[in-house]
Structure 1
């Protein structure tokens, strides 16, 4: 009797052990350590959260309208183990007015990058099932059933030069970690789709032995990205189009691509706008892979699923949007994103040729814009000389159009617009012939998003003039330019009333405080840049 009771006790203990193990929260193993909810005394600190369009880069996808795919990502610190991603969960809204739904099939995992420069934070990605990838309206991050709140304040006690002395702390701190998805694009404003264009947003800092052009204090007055982000977020856009150059600040004694500088140079200041709409993260020359640039951080944070390391030049990619959502097929529009981070890249001509294919796809939208960084054409003045654009980009574009044909015919251009940055000001260039017909796509340079602005001429903050130094396909252009050397952004609206406009959208220029700026009217003088 005692023997049988002993055997029963052993079996009971073994069964109880199996039950306890089966009920223990699962975790990802790394170096014999792991993170689970039960091991954490408080919620992991979420430093940043955003959603981003990842688009389509394959020519095989040219079969009509392409629904935008949107990824949700967030940053956990400090010194977070990659397994920390799995302790969070996600709830989504499938439509604007539906209730939040917990989605256990959604997986949260660390971004795996063989060239990851960050050793003190973890970048997590939300893996949405294929059935929802193009449809979810909004998503929120949760921990133990409660919605996570952001805590993006800067590292305390950092006294090196200007680091920590004036950088903007997180104005979105304590906000819910909730972002918008592809189902929201074209459905947040009745009867229209809206976008914010912004670029060159980082702060230069006060590096030693630098010219005056390279010197910029990083307080809110001299570096207004946080003010711009709040002003733009108040407009409730469907999309944010960033043309590149997120980072400028650096110091000699610390790795320039460290999380410390990404946090100080972008995320806390931009977070109010990151919460407001999916972003398109274009790539600028400051996101090159070479030492001293910030490409490794860019790919770890914003890279697409197909890249797991910093690459010299990305293939162009695209996505489509429409008023009322793409399923409505109401005033559809295509964005093509082209990587010009390196104006001497051997692949640049081929990339432009592929972009032309994406633009002229018969079943695709007739309204198309190109989003890229370095302008082939511009008009500005700095360092004692007059600049008219980048010859490397111009030559590559010329070679591509020689092969595939001009971008404008009979006064109609496709793409109708190049959305650009690189030059640190706002500039609109309209290339027309003597009969006021378009002979090249309009340029909007939106490099006035935070970095110290450059001058279009030695003594003008706002200059409107015409220039006759450019020609296209043998026709001399009368290039009407409107330039502002002050910070701000452009707000775009597309609706049934704008589809017949030259750009298909109506632009409104805002300064950093959200005040509308006037557009030029009437006759303009000839440009006198010197």
Structure 2
């Protein structure tokens, strides 16, 4: 048995034997060698690992206890730091009518610990925390995973049906493939309004923006995948302040928590809805830039909008990061920039015109800075792999992670169809089948593989600079 496995076994055994120490641990003494595993396990609702700016590793936990749980790092125990206390947030204006909204109840405590690079064994509540690998070989990519309950669209997805809402299946499938890293590109939460009592498929579902809904929509079905690997996260439009931003800031945002960015007070929304881009290294030769486009919207963005100069500045920061020629730079944000949105009975809509307008002020022809080779997005509920004959980054859309899929794109696309002025399409591979993508190391490059929800391989795409070549083109029909 290796030293690392022996250490994990020793720690796990110590935690299991800790049942006899309940009375001692209750005193909270700093010299307590262990915490009672049975008590902590019952109270810790979720525990996972994230990677933030500068590859900072963050362990998070959510507990029903009023205090944070103990954490074991390389055999030494301490108490996790409080991130956000349990609270009920008064009802605020939301994306829904006031009659279809309610206060957000967070009857849980959010806790965190920042790990040093020397951490090799980490346990929270008896659970071994997944830790990042210096050179990840397999990275899962997914987005738009929640179950849609939205009165304004009369959309009530059958959340109780794992075929109609397959996020739990997708999470279990990916976990079985043993990824080294999971990348979620936004929209974790969709249960905004109450399910009507006469719709059996979502009857009695939690709704609103409190912990019970976050648990039902993300943390419970995603538990196997949260346990399988560290996560890299960015937010989507469903996590902006007038929607599920309160839970995003408490649970998933990699930045320190503060009242100003909590989305609790609408007066702070302009600041709470934006955050600076940052890079995460994917080994020594690849990095991905995470960009927050949660509040960009889908319409054009006028220069007078407060976000226009903010996004301009943020894309300058992206360019500075991508200027590192020793690394291949990938870019990830929720809203597709050089991809399509299918429309029933009509030609597909182009990419996000608001971000395009901002980007053209900095890079009038290519939109992206030269260093960006491949872009990853969600938001549109399908899979797209797009390569251009012009000098534009290849683009993947992976928004088929659980929410209602969109209609299929026209196949083939009408001649001359483009996601943005000047971007000439070469090839597109697409499907509106539920699933996910996996990035897999192959020597000095990554292969991009699309899978169905149960792990059936649909296509493999091979990059060459800013181009990709997939082994299948057009619509991918699942077998």
TM-score, length-scaled by structure 1: 0.67
Shift of 1:89: 2.8
Tell me how far apart the structure 2 counterparts of residues 522 and 71 of structure 1 sit (CA, whole Å).
38
Q: Deviations over 1:207-233 (max 9, x none)?
A: 55634xx33111211000111011111
CA RMSD of aligned residues (A): 3.2
Structure 2, unpaired ranges of 5+: 1-23, 90-103, 196-205, 263-271, 302-306, 461-468
Q: Deviations over 1:155-196 (max 9, x none)?
A: xxxxxxxxxxxxxxxxxxxxxx222123x3426xxxxx2200
Equivalent pairs, count: 392
Residue 480 (structure 1) aligns with: 427
Shift of 1:139: 1.7
Matched, 1:195 2:139: yes
Q: Is the 8 A contact 1:420 1:447 kept in 2?
A: yes
Residue 52 (structure 1) aligns with: 50
Structure 1, unpaired ranges of 5+: 1-21, 29-35, 57-67, 93-100, 148-176, 188-192, 323-328, 434-438
1:245 aligns with one of 184, 187, 207: 187
Residue 153 (structure 2) aligns with: 210
> How do 1:259-408 and structure 2 match up within 5 A?
259-290=211-242, 293-308=243-258, 309-310=261-262, 311-322=272-283, 329=284, 332-343=285-296, 344=301, 345-346=307-308, 347-361=310-324, 365-382=326-343, 384-385=345-346, 386-402=348-364, 407=368
1:491 aligns with one of 429, 438, 441: 438
Q: Is the 8 A contact 1:107 1:127 kept in 2?
A: no
Tell me how far apart the structure 1 counterparts of residues 111 and 45 of structure 2 sit (CA, whole Å).
11
Matched, 1:26 2:28: yes
Tell me how far apart the structure 1 counterparts of residues 152 and 314 of structure 2 sit (CA, whole Å).
38
Cα 1:315–1:494 change in 2 (3 A) is: same
> How do 1:99-114 and structure 2 match up within 5 A?
101-104=74-77, 106-112=78-84
Partner secondary structure for residue 518 of structure 1: strand
Shift of 1:46: 1.7
> How do 1:462-477 and structure 2 match up within 5 A?
463=411, 468-470=416-418, 477=424
Tell me how far apart the structure 1 counterparts of residues 71 and 152 of structure 2 sit (CA, whole Å).
48
Q: Is the 8 A contact 2:151 2:193 kept in 1?
A: no
TM-score, length-scaled by structure 2: 0.74
Cα 1:265–1:278 change in 2 (3 A) is: same
Shift of 1:516: 0.8
Q: Is the 8 A contact 1:225 1:449 kept in 2?
A: yes
Partner secondary structure for residue 111 of structure 1: strand
Q: Deviations over 1:364-393 (max 9, x none)?
A: x32110111101232232355431122111
Cα 1:449–1:286 change in 2 (3 A) is: same
> How do 1:400-439 and structure 2 match up within 5 A?
400-402=362-364, 407=368, 414-433=371-390, 439=391
Q: Is the 8 A contact 2:138 2:440 kept in 1?
A: yes
Q: Is the 8 A contact 2:236 2:294 kept in 1?
A: yes
Shift of 1:414: 2.3
Q: Is the 8 A contact 1:336 1:369 kept in 2?
A: yes
Cα 1:230–1:396 change in 2 (3 A) is: same
Tell me how far apart the structure 1 counterparts of residues 337 and 419 of structure 2 sit (CA, whole Å).
13
Cα 1:199–1:475 change in 2 (3 A) is: closer
Partner secondary structure for residue 393 of structure 1: helix
Residue 452 (structure 2) aligns with: 511
Shift of 1:400: 2.7
Partner secondary structure for residue 203 of structure 1: coil
Q: Is the 8 A contact 2:25 2:35 kept in 1?
A: no
